[in-house]
């Protein structure tokens, strides 16, 4: 801990408590999500751990535990909550910048080989033309003809969603 900081937390658990109290100005949903992630995944591993001794390998231990039970997107949320905790400690000068316990900690999926797309979905798992036709028909049956047309156009043309919703009637020529 940096010198001269009276009442500074001495454990990661105490830091978590202070951080959660500071979220009162945030949305209830955000505060509840942060509380859940920190309570379920960080506190059990680091709660009694000395704040001054918190290292990147300790952070990796938390994320390894989460990787064993959670989807990659939720593991990323755990890492993000830990990063917010560290940023809160930095702003209050309770840990020095050079002692970043999240330094080089990867909490988002990364490619294992050059050129690999993270989150790649094999072609065999994509919806078939028949699946899409059933979706379009169900949109029509539910009274959403415009959405059916938009999704059919997207499916057939390959335009990105932003391009599709930017289209105006004058952009289309059916002749």
- What pLDDT, in 10s, does the model give residues 105-145? 988 777 777 766 666 667 788 888 999 999 999 999 999 99
* pLDDT > 70 in the chain, percent: 93
Question: Considering the entire predicted model, what is its pTM?
Answer: 0.62
Q: What is the pLDDT of residue 80?
A: 95
Q: Is 64 exposed, middle or buried (0-12, 13-18, 19+ CB in 10 A)?
A: exposed
Per DSSP, 70 falls in state S
DSSP SS3 for 11: strand
Structural Rg of the chain based on CA atoms: 24
Q: Would you report the helix, strand and coil content of the chain in percent, each value rounded to 5?
A: 60, 0, 35
Q: Which of 103, 106, 110, 69 is nearest to 86 (CA)?
A: 103
């Amino acid at each position: 801990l940096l010198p001269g900081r009276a009442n500074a937390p001495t454990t990661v658990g105490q830091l978590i408590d202070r951080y959660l109290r500071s979220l009162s100005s945030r949305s209830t949903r955000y505060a509840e999500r942060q509380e859940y992630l920190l309570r379920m995944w960080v506190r059990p591993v680091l709660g009694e751990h000395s704040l001054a001794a918190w290292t990147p390998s300790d952070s990796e231990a938390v994320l390894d535990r989460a990787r064993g039970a959670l989807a990659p997107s939720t593991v990323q949320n755990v890492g993000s909550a830990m990063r917010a905790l560290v940023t809160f400690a930095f702003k209050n000068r309770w840990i020095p910048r050079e002692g970043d316990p999240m330094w080089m900690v990867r909490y988002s999926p990364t490619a294992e080989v050059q050129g690999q797309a993270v989150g790649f979905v094999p072609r065999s798992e994509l919806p078939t033309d028949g699946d899409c036709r059933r979706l379009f028909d169900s949109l029509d049956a539910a009274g959403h003809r415009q959405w059916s047309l938009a999704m059919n156009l997207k499916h057939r043309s390959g335009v990105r969603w932003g391009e599709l919703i930017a289209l105006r009637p004058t952009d289309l020529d059916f002749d």
